Structure 1
Amino acid sequence: MRDVAAEAGVAAITVSRALSSPDRVSPHLLEKVQAAAKKLQYTPNIAAGTLRSQKSRIVAVIVPTIAHSIFAETIQVMSGIFRPAGYHLLIGHSGYSLEEEESLVTAFLARKPDAIILTGYTHSATTIDLIARAEVPLVEIWNIPDEPRDTVVGISNFDAAQAMTRLLIRKGYRKIGYIGGPRENNDRVEQRERGFAAALQEAGLEVPERGIVRKPLEFENGARALTELLSQNSELDAVFAASDILAIGVLMECQNQGIRVPEQLAVVGFDDVGLASYTSPPLTTVRVPREEIGRRAAQEVLKRLSGGSTEPRIIDLGFEIIERRSA
C-alpha cells in the first residue's frame, strides 16, 4: 500500500480509503490510486482488512437459479450499486433446494459477509437461525410475506396472479387452465397458484377438473404441460402459465398443433422476459420490476450498513399487467 501511495503521490491512508470506500475520495484521487494499483499489480489483503475493520466488504446473495435472465438481471443491477460503494457480491444458486440454500449460507457466513440477500421468504429453520446468530442484515427479495423478518423488497405474487386471472375473466374466458412450477419450497410459485384460484372463486368459477399442471420451469415443459392439459380439458379457452418460460413453450406447442392464439386459446404469462414481446403473437404477461428489486435491495443493504433503521419493513414495488395480442 505504501508503494501504491508513493506511485500515486498520495498518503497511504488515501490509498486505503480509495480501495475500501471509493465514495469517500474525489474522482481525481480515485483515478490516480487505481492507476497506480494497476501499474504495480497491487491486490488488497482482504483478510487482513477484515480483521482490522470487522468488515469484509462482501454481500452474499443466493438466488434459485442463474439459468434464466430474470435473476441474472437482478444480480447485475445489485452489483452496479455495490461496486462503487466498495462492496462485492458473493453469489450462489440453490437450485430451488432449501438444503442447498442452507449449505450455501453456512459456507458464506464463514467468509464473514456484511449482509445476506435471499430469494423469497421460505427458508429452513437452520438458515434463519444461522443468519440471526451472525447478526448481519437480511434482505429477502421477490415475494412479500405477511410479516417481515427483516427487510423485504419485492411484489405480491398472489396479487399479481389474481390480477392476471381477473383480466382473463373480464375478457370473457371461463375455462381457464393453469401451468405452474413445482410448489415445494417455492413461495413465489405457491402464491401465484393461490392468486389464480382466488380469482376464479370470487367470480363463481371453478378450476377445470385436472386443470392445473406443475412442471419445472423450462420451455419444453410448457409444451408438455399444454398437451397434458388439453388431453384432459379439451374445452379450455385460456391458459395462464405462471412463468413466461412456460408460456413461450405453450405458444410454440400451439403453433405445432395448429391452435390459433388467441382465437381458439388465449395464453398469458408472468415475468415479462425479453422474448415476451417478440413471440407470435406477443405475450400478455405480468411485468415484474426485477431490476428495481435488485436496485432497492442493494440500497437497503447500504443503508443498514451505514447505520440505518433496523426495524423490519416491507418495500412493495408493485407489478404491471402488460396486455399484448395473446389474450
Structure 2
Amino acid sequence: MNDQKSPKRSIKMSDVAREAGVSPMTVSNAFKHPAKVVAETRERVFSVAARLGYVPNLMAGNLASGRSNIVAAIAPSIQNSNFAGMIIGLENALRARGYHLIISVVDKIEREFEAVRALIGRRVDGIVLTGVNRDDATRTMLVNAGIPLVETWDLEGPFIDMGVGFSARKAAKDITRLMIASGKRRIGLAGYEVSNNRRFQERVIGFEEAMMEAGLSPNLTAFVPDWSGFSGGRLAMDELLGREPLLEGMFCFTDVLATGALFECMRRGWDVPGRFAIAGYGDYEIAAEVPPGLTTIHTPGDKIGEAAADMILRRINGGDTSDMIIDVGYRLVVRGSV
C-alpha cells in the first residue's frame, strides 16, 4: 500500500478568475497593474487568491517587458542604524512606485563580486551599493551590465553611474574643529583597521586637516578591529593615553566607539567633557541617551535611500537624471560630551 500523498495541483490564474467571477486578464492586471482594476474587483481578486493560495508567476511577464520591478541593495551591515535607515528609505520609496527591494549583506569587498553577479543574473532593474570601493572585476561587470546604479555614502567618487551621499571629510573636519574651539588641544582619533575603506579614510583626512590648520599634531591616531564593539573605544583610549598621558579628547569613527570611550571615562571617574571630550559619528539612537549626551554627526541614511530610489526610477523611466550626484548633507549635533 502506498501511503504517499499525490502532490496537489498548483493553483492557476484561471482558477482565481473563475472563483472571483472575472476574466484571467483582470486577475493578471490586479497583480501587475493594480491601478487598472476597480478597487472592489481588485480586492475580491486578492481575497480569492489568498484563500486559494495562488501566487502569480511574474517571470513570464518580466521576460516580455524586460522589467523585474525589483531593485537590489548591497550593504555592509544592517545592524548599523544608518544603513538600516537607508534600507527603510529605499523600501518606502520603491514600494510607493510598485517596486520591490531585495537586500544582500556583504561585509567584505572581496565578496562583492559574487553578490553583484548573482543580482545581475536575476535581472534586477537597478542596484544600490555602499561606497565607491570596487575591485576592477566588479567595476567592469557593472559597467557592462548597463543597468541603473547608485553608489551611496560618498560624494567624492569616482562614480560608475550615479552617486548620493555627503562629504565625510568635511563632517570629520567640522566636528574636530568644534573640539578645538572648546579649548582642547591634545585630541586623538579612534578608528577601525580597515585600510581600503574610503569612507573611513575621508574621516581621517578631515581630522588631520582640522588639527593641522590649528597648528596641532594630527598624529594621535589609534585603530582597533572593526568587530570590537564598545570595547574598541576603551582599547583606543588605552593606546592613545599610553602615547600621550595628557590626552584631552577623542574623535571616534562611530558612535559605538565613542560610547565605549564614555563608558571608560565613567570607570575612571573622569568628568566629560571637563577632563576628556568625546565626539562620535552617526547619531545612533544611543547617542542621545548615554550621559552626558554624545556630540556627533547626524548622517541621513533615510534621505540617502530615498534619493537613490528616485534616481534609479527616473533612469528606468527615461526621466531627467542630469543631477547624477546628490549631496544630502549632514548635521552637527552638539550634546554634553564636547
After TM superposition, the score normalised by the length of structure 1 is 0.92
Asked if the contact 1:23/1:84 (under 8 Å) is kept, the reply is no
Shift of 1:239: 0.5
Distance 1:257 1:26 in 2: 68
Q: SS state of the match for residue 314, structure 2?
A: helix
Q: SS state of the match for residue 86, structure 1?
A: coil
Distance 1:23 1:245 in 2: 45
Show CA shifts across 1:169-211 (max 9, x none): 1111111100112333311111111111111112222124x43
Q: CA RMSD in A?
A: 2.0
Structure 2 regions of 5+ residues with no counterpart? 1-12
Q: Which residue of 2 aligns with 1:82?
A: 94
Shift of 1:39: 2.1
Aligned pair 1:34/2:55, yes or no?
no
Show CA shifts across 1:216-238 (max 9, x none): 15222122111221122111111
Note closer, same or farther for the CA distance 1:258–1:127 as it changes in structure 2 (3 Å cut): same
Q: Which residue of 2 aligns with 1:318?
A: 329
| Partner amino acid, structure 2, of 1:134 | A
Q: Which residue of 2 aligns with 1:187?
A: 198
Asked if the contact 2:248/2:277 (under 8 Å) is kept, the reply is yes
Distance 1:221 1:106 in 2: 34
Q: How does 1:25-174 map onto structure 2 within 5 Å?
A: 28-95=40-107, 97-174=108-185
Distance 2:68 2:82 in 1: 28
Asked if the contact 2:84/2:301 (under 8 Å) is kept, the reply is no
Q: SS state of the match for residue 30, structure 2?
A: helix
Note closer, same or farther for the CA distance 1:175–1:22 as it changes in structure 2 (3 Å cut): farther
| Partner amino acid, structure 1, of 2:103 | I
Distance 1:111 1:134 in 2: 12
Aligned sequence identity (%)? 39
Asked if the contact 1:270/1:287 (under 8 Å) is kept, the reply is yes
Shift of 1:46: 2.8
Asked if the contact 1:149/1:312 (under 8 Å) is kept, the reply is no
Shift of 1:6: 4.1
Note closer, same or farther for the CA distance 1:189–1:197 as it changes in structure 2 (3 Å cut): same
Q: SS state of the match for residue 85, structure 1?
A: coil
Distance 1:305 1:6 in 2: 36
Show CA shifts across 1:257-308 (max 9, x none): 2222111000010000011000011100000011111111112222122112
Q: Which residue of 2 aligns with 1:221?
A: 232
Aligned partner of 2:319 among 283, 287, 308: 308
Note closer, same or farther for the CA distance 1:278–1:196 as it changes in structure 2 (3 Å cut): same
Q: SS state of the match for residue 160, structure 1?
A: helix
Note closer, same or farther for the CA distance 1:183–1:161 as it changes in structure 2 (3 Å cut): same
Structure 1 regions of 5+ residues with no counterpart? none
Shift of 1:146: 4.3
Q: Which residue of 1 aligns with 2:222?
A: 212
Shift of 1:133: 1.5
Aligned pair 1:278/2:311, yes or no?
no
Show CA shifts across 1:105-151 (max 9, x none): 01111111110110011111111211121110001111112443322
Distance 1:220 1:290 in 2: 25
Comparing 58-67 with 38-47, which one deviates more in the overlay? Answer: 38-47
Comparing 60-69 with 276-285, which one deviates more in the overlay? Answer: 60-69
Distance 1:101 1:141 in 2: 15
| Partner amino acid, structure 2, of 1:140 | E
**Higher Rg:** 2
Shift of 1:62: 0.4
Distance 1:28 1:121 in 2: 47
